[in-house]
Structure formats: C-alpha cells, structure tokens
Amino acid sequence: MTSRYRSAGAAQDPGSLSPRRRTVVKAAAASAVLAAALPARAATGAPAFLHGVASGDPLPDGVLLWTRVTPVPEAIPGSGLGPDTEVGWVVARDQALTDVVARGSVTATAASDHTVKADVRGLAPATDYWFRFSAGGTDSPVARTRTAPAADADVSSLRFGVVSCANWEAGYFAAYRHLAARGDLDAWLHLGDYIYEYKSGEYAARGKVVRPHAPANEILTLADYRMRHARYKTDPDLQALHVTAPVIAIWDDHEFADNAWPGGAVNHTEGAEGSWAARQAAAKQAYFEWMPVRPALAGTTYRRLRFGRLADLSLLDLRSFRTQQASTASGSVDDPDRTLTGRAQLDWLKAGLRASDTKWRLVGNSVMISPFAIGSLSADLLKPLAKLLGLPQEGIALNTDQWDGYTDDRRELLAHLRSNAIRNTVFLTGDIHMAWANDVPVDAGTYPLSPSAATEFVVTSVTSDNLDDIVKVPEGTVSAVAAPVIKAANRHVHWVDTDRHGYGVLDITAERAQMDYYVLSDRTDPDARSSWARSYRTLSGTQKVERTYDPV
C-alpha cells in the first residue's frame, strides 16, 4: 500500500510563502478535527477529560492511545486522590465513530495519576483512524491517528512535523497550532524537552515570564513532575496537535533536569534537593504516565519504528547511559571509556543501521552529532553562546553535552557507516535552540576533502531562549554576525539560524529527504504567524546537504 502523499512538483519561488494546494486541502479537512477537539466539559463532579487525548508510536497494525481522566474535582494531577475509574475507548474508520473496528476499557487509578493507555492492535496499515475515550457518561474529544505502512509496502512519501524545546514560561505553543492546521502529517516527532523543570521565573523569555507554569517551584518529586506534565497538556495548541496526528517522542535533559546524566545533573543539588536517583525515577515514571510512548526497555526511550520500505526511524535515549559531561574541552572528550549512548544502545544502533533495507535511515537524536567549533567567535558573541550551551565563557571549541563531548562514540558510529557503505542516514536533532543543516563529516578538520558519512537537520526551539534572546537584541542581529563565522569554522555547516523560534516539516521520497524550516512571528503572541524560512535536502546516495527553493 502506498502513502496518500506524493512528491513535490515544480520549483516554487523562494520568496513565496504560500502553501501548496494539497496543504490547503488537508488544512481544510483538519478544521473539522480541531472543531471536534474542544475540551469536554461535564457537569460538576462528573468525570472530565481536561488534558486532552493523544496517540503515539504508530505501527503497521496498531497505535498507542492515551488520555487522563479527572474522575472527581479533587483528583488533580499529582494529588494521589480520586477513585478507580473505568475508562472506555473506541476506534473507528470515520470521525463520527459509526464504523467501529475496536473497543475496550482500562482502569484509571491514582497509582498512575489517572492516566491511561490502550495499545490497540489488529488495525490496517497506512490508514487513518478516529478514537475517543469515555468515563461516567462523559466523552473525550474525538481524535485522528494514523497507522504506519506495512513493513514491505512501497511508500511514495512520508511527512513528519519536527519540534523540540518547548518552554511554557517563555511563550505560547503556536508552532504546535500551525503543525496541527496542516492536516497532512503521518506523525510528528518531539526530539526532547517537551517540558522544563525550572522554578517559575528561572528560565523565561529574555527573563520575563509570559505565562506562569505549575507548580511554581522547581520540580523534584513525582507529584511535581506529574503537575508539570499536566500543565503542559492543558495548552490548547498542544492538545490540537495531539488530536490530529500520532506523536513519536524521545526525552532529553529537561524532562529530568538540565544536563542530566545517570549520576546527576547541573540543575540538581544532591541532598538539598533530595537524591538524584529518586528524582530521576520520579521523572521517568511521570514521563511514561503522561506520554503516549512505548519504552523499548524498561525506563528508556530508545526503540525503532518502520515506515514501509521508504524509511525506518531509530530513536535514541542519550540521557540514561551517558558518562558525566566533561567540564572542559580537554583531551578527556576523546577518552574511549567515555560514552554518550552506552555500549548496548550503540551496538543496537549500529546493527539496526547495517541491517536496514529501507531507502532512508532516520535517527531521532536529542543532541547535535555534527562537530561544532566556536573558538573563532568574538568575545561579545562567544559569551552568550557559551551561556546558552552551558559552556565556560572564556573560550572553548566544544559543547561537551552533545556528541562533541563523546568523540569516541561518534568516531565509532561514523566509521561503521563508512566501512559498511551505509547510505542515506539522516540525523534529526533538537536541543540547541537553533536551526542547522549539516553534513556529518568523518573528519571535520579536513572536510570537505574528506567524506561525509551522513546528514543532519536540527530544528530550533518552539519557545526556549536562543542566542538573540540571551544577548537581548532584535531578532536576526546576532545571526547576521555569528552565522558566517560559525560556517567558516565549521565547513560542514550549510546553514545556521541562531535567532528564531519555530519548527520543521520533514518530507521524504525515494529521491530525497527534505527539511522545510518554519519560523514564528513572535513566541509571546498566542496568535503568532508562521512563515517558511528555508528548505534543505539531501539527495539519495550523496550524504550531503543542499539548499532547495521548493518547500513542500
């Protein structure tokens, strides 16, 4: 069975921001979804679905459904209060839910914060379905989901929304609203920092709180993490995106605490803030309660999904197994005993990439794999950039929280791609609050004379501060100065935008993988507009990025 999407046609004028016709048509169809997705309101004391509904991790024969029921008013998230409540679910081929294909029920309890999941199987591949939950006479919104193509299907194209780094206090989630309005996504990828752990006011929009999160304190306990997830799930734009397409999510550090690793985090004080082991366990429990994610292994998010013969997607967990970050860019980053992935995960990734028989090998990657040297930046730009990246501000060449701090893992992985002639590997990355289009060189120092092993598309933040926000200058000012210097010091970088917020849309055909980058007019405006900024693609077999003027 083929995808319902076709590849793009003739080139579009680079100055045009007009959507293609099929996007307009799909957006019109999506309006019906959004209209049906308004939060259900029951009589006082009756069960309510205040946190929306969602689906995730699509398979050829199934999908994971999620919701949270509030059985009684006092059963607020994190309270531990409220009775056991039976929650029914139904899946149908139509939005009116008349052509039912599956139904069942699950019990929501205080032990799981009254969140529930239904892992529905027996569905047809590459098919739109509609679903709804119900409890005590109250119905949830009706939502759309979509299964993945059959494993052996010849798929003509795929389309994914791509987002990262959504800080509640720094603005509104208009990026989610614009992705939801498209109506043409097979799924959307969240590459980490779905929530942030900071106390109110500690990390906002240029220091200003646009809207306060809950709880107001830095989240430390299971109840805290549950409350923070719950606050995010009340956002209308996030709810709208969750009801239009399944999400495929991985975590990064802020689902735990800044620069997290198995033994601690920069934003954790052992003792004064309890034990890190207890905090980490609480964060993981709340994440799996509140997100429609299947853990491949207990307590991790690394797993693999397949989309016919066109693409598979390896999703990484780069927080659960890493060695503590190096404090400086000393030779310690090259220590072969240091690891970002952990041995088992790296072996799993290498084996999966080698065994893959799909045209494209996508890697959901929470921190940038491409080398990033910043030593050439002037002091006035280096210091805020270092602050953004958590680096010493006296001058340094590496961000040791990303793959630059674990160079032996990177060398091993890239050598594996080269020695096994594994082509068409594309890393999809968030975290750094900037948009990038990169080749991934085997040896950055000799590139482009030496080869590229893969390509990388990095999306900017939905709302979290980027470079111009830290410097507190008009948007575009820093990028105009810093981008040429960054590119000169990093010849594998084709484009970097240090200043704007937004999202990406990844469009894949047999011939190319293309990322269309979109930016928001103002993250502090709930009605912010979206406009196309740039498009980059990698052609099959090239392992190199090129600019295209044809957004799809």
Do 331 and 234 fall into the same domain? Answer: yes
CATH assignment of the domain containing 81: 2.60.40.380
- The whole-number pLDDT of residue 22 equals 39
Query: 338 in a domain, yes or no?
Result: yes
Please tell me the distance from the alpha carbon of residue 215 to that of residue 228, in angstroms, as a whole number: 6
Q: State the pLDDT confidence band at 385, using cuts at 50, 70 and 90.
A: low
Residues 207 and 234 in one domain: yes
What mean pLDDT is reported for the chain?
89
Confidence of residue 399 (pLDDT cuts 50, 70, 90): confident
DSSP-H helix ranges across 291-428: 343-355, 379-389, 407-419
- Residue 58: CB atoms within 10 Å: 26
Same domain, 254 and 204: yes
Confirm whether 54 is domain-assigned.
Answer: yes
The reply to whether 186 and 139 lie within a common domain is no
Residues of the chain above pLDDT 70, percent = 87
Q: Is residue 186 located within the same domain as residue 67?
A: no
Residue 257 lies in a domain: yes
Is 5's pLDDT higher than 70? no
**Domain boundary pick from 115, 146, 177:** 146
Q: Do residue 169 and residue 223 come from a single domain? A: yes
Distance CA 250, CA 348 (A): 16
Q: Give pLDDT tens digits for 67-101.
A: 999 999 999 999 999 999 999 999 999 999 999 99
Last residue of one domain, picked from the residues 119, 146, 173: 146
Range with the poorest average pLDDT among 15-29, 114-128, 252-266, 408-422: 15-29
Residues 292 and 396 in one domain: yes
Q: Are residues 252 and 393 in the same domain?
A: yes
Please tell me whether residues 113 and 202 are part of one structural domain: no
Mean pLDDT within 359-377:
88
Domain end position, chosen among 146, 170, 201: 146
Contacts of 43 (CB under 8 A, 6+ apart): none
Query: In the β-sheet with 303-307, what is the strand arrangement from edge to edge?
Result: 303-307, 311-315, 360-365, 425-429, 452-458, 435-441, 493-497
Give the domain range for residue 82. Answer: 44-146
Instruction: Identify the CATH number of the domain in which residue 426 sits.
Output: 3.60.21.70
Parallel, antiparallel, or unpaired for β 187-190 and 247-249? parallel
Q: How far is CA 5 from CA 37, 159, 182, 509, in A?
A: 25, 8, 13, 10
Residue 216 has pLDDT above 50, yes or no: yes
Within-domain flag for 30: no
**What phi-psi label fits residue 263: left (phi over 0), alpha (psi between -120 and 50 degrees) or beta?**
alpha
Domain count, the chain: 2
Signed CA dihedral, 460, 291, 178, 208: sign only: negative
At residue 223, φ and ψ (nearest 5 deg) are -60, -40
Looking at the structure, do residues 336 and 386 belong to the same domain, yes or no? yes
Q: What is the pLDDT of residues 222-264, one digit of tens each?
A: 999 999 999 999 999 999 999 999 999 999 999 999 999 999 9
Is residue 172 assigned to a domain?
yes
Whole-angstrom distance, CA of residue 24 vs CA of residue 244:
15
Residue 522 has pLDDT above 50, yes or no: yes
Within-domain flag for 99: yes
Mean pLDDT of 402-408: 93
Report if residue 260 sits inside a domain: yes
Does residue 18 lie within any of the structural domains?
no
298 Cβ contact partners less than 8 Å away, ≥ 6 residues apart = none
Same domain, 134 and 161: no
pLDDT at 376: 57
At residue 295, the pLDDT reads: 78
Q: Clarify whether residues 184 and 142 are in a common domain.
A: no
Q: How confident is the model at residue 125 (pLDDT cuts 50, 70, 90)?
A: very high
Q: What is the pTM of this model?
A: 0.90
Backbone angles phi, psi at 330, to 5 degrees: -85, -175
End-to-end CA distance of the chain: 22
Answer whether residue 375 shows pLDDT above 80: no
